[in-house]
Amino acid sequence: MPEKYACDEYKVFDIIMDELGAKTSQGDVDKARSCVNQFWREWSQAGHAERVKCFDPVVAAVEEEFASRSSTTPDLDRANLKVLVPGVGLGRLVFDICRAGFSVEGNEISYHMLMASALVLNDTKSTGQFKIAPWALNSSNHVSREDQLRTVRVPDIHPATELAKAAASRVPAGERMSISTGDFCVVYGRHDYTDEFDAVATVFFIDTAPNIIRYIEAVRNCLKPGGLWINLGPLLWHPPPRRVNDEGKLAEDGERRADVDAGIGDPGSVELTHDEVIALVEHFGFVMERQEHGTIETGYISNTRSMLQNTYRPSFWIARKK
């Protein structure tokens, strides 16, 4: 290793990867960059402002539901309230719900996110163990090069220590938290998940569906009668994912494999307005108990020192399954 690179940890990493002959695709690189950005949002002190806006209302809604149920069942333990969080990313919302004493299961389709969440939740040794440079690979709208290359420490807390201190439930935290992998529509649309959860919490998630009807059907299937769907997020509709056919090649429009449920890869794309989404949710047997729009303003992985600032005004609603 040349001595001139001794203090340049990024160059050291680059040289080591070259020596190991590590190869990757552009898609893997993009997903790895996304994970670094998510570390900033979910597990850095700097990302706290976004988490307060996006996660705290969801946890508060779960708390309110538990308080309501406890009023008629005084001995109810928090662990008896089971919450599902689809599109969990790096697991911070799952962690926050578990820390509050509830049983929670996250779901994520991205293996990159799953590996990163496993690292931070299971294998970190201390607060601030890792240093990341979330804006280093984006060269636009920086005031200075120092702003572009600045680093932050993650995680902002030590998850294992915090969960060990949590005493809100009689059930240990390790028995109340899990994360599953797979397509949300396919996994939670199955019969073995019917009427499984007391609440489903979707944060910046429902607009990842090319066909939101599949998401609504899966939520309805896995919620118990009387269960809550808590949603917070915008409607930045995502393009349909690229699909493969029976020969493993990219499928033509309208073509699909006959032997599997394509889940979010089903053909077709529906881009609805907020009012149309609400009407569709109600059509599928939910009663809207709370609906807000414009009361929350937040960024999403927003570099606060950038010359460009994007702000979402997400919808926040709570619906109960009949």
The CATH architecture annotation of domain 24-321 reads: 3-Layer(aba) Sandwich (3.40)
Task: Kindly state the average pLDDT of the residues 97-120.
Answer: 97
Note the pLDDT tens digit of each residue in 48-62: 999 999 999 999 999
pLDDT at 2: 66
Q: Locate the DSSP E strands across the chain.
A: 82-86, 103-108, 130-132, 152-154, 177-181, 197-203, 223-233, 286-293, 315-321
How long a stretch of residues is the chain? 322
Cα 216 off chain centre by = 17
Domain ranges of the chain: 24-321
Cα 7 off chain centre by = 35
- Give the pLDDT band (50/70/90) at residue 4: low
Instruction: Say if residue 220's pLDDT is above 60.
Output: yes
pLDDT at 25: 81
Find tokens 């989404």 and name the residue.
277
Task: Kindly state the average pLDDT of the residues 53-75.
Answer: 97
pTM: 0.89
> 69-101: b or e for each residue (b if 16 or more CB lie within 10 Å)?
eeeeeeeebbbbbbbbbbbbbbbbbbbbbbbbb
Tokens of 180: 């599953």
Instruction: Say if residue 264's pLDDT is above 70.
Output: yes
Q: Which of 5-19, 162-176, 282-296 has the highest mean pLDDT?
A: 282-296
pLDDT at 262: 66
Instruction: Say if residue 232's pLDDT is above 90.
Output: yes
d(CA 288, CA 228): 10
Task: Kindly state the average pLDDT of the residues 87-113.
Answer: 97
- Give the pLDDT band (50/70/90) at residue 250: very low
- C-alpha to C-alpha distances, 97 to 54, 116, 155, 173, nearest whole angstrom: 13, 19, 17, 10
Among the ranges given (18-22, 57-61, 247-251), the one the predictor scored with the smallest mean pLDDT = 247-251
d(CA 104, CA 176): 6
* One-letter amino acid for residue 88 of the chain: V
d(CA 258, CA 246): 8
Nearest-5° Cα angle at 96, 90 to 97: 110
Residues 6+ apart with CB under 8 A from 8: none
Instruction: Say if residue 247's pLDDT is above 60.
Output: no
3 state SS for 262-312: CHHHCCCCCCCCHHHHHHHHHHCCEEEEEEEECCCCECCCCCCCCCCCCCE
pLDDT at 244: 47
Listed residue (146, 148, 263) closest to 214, CA to CA:
263
Task: Kindly state the average pLDDT of the residues 256-271.
Answer: 67
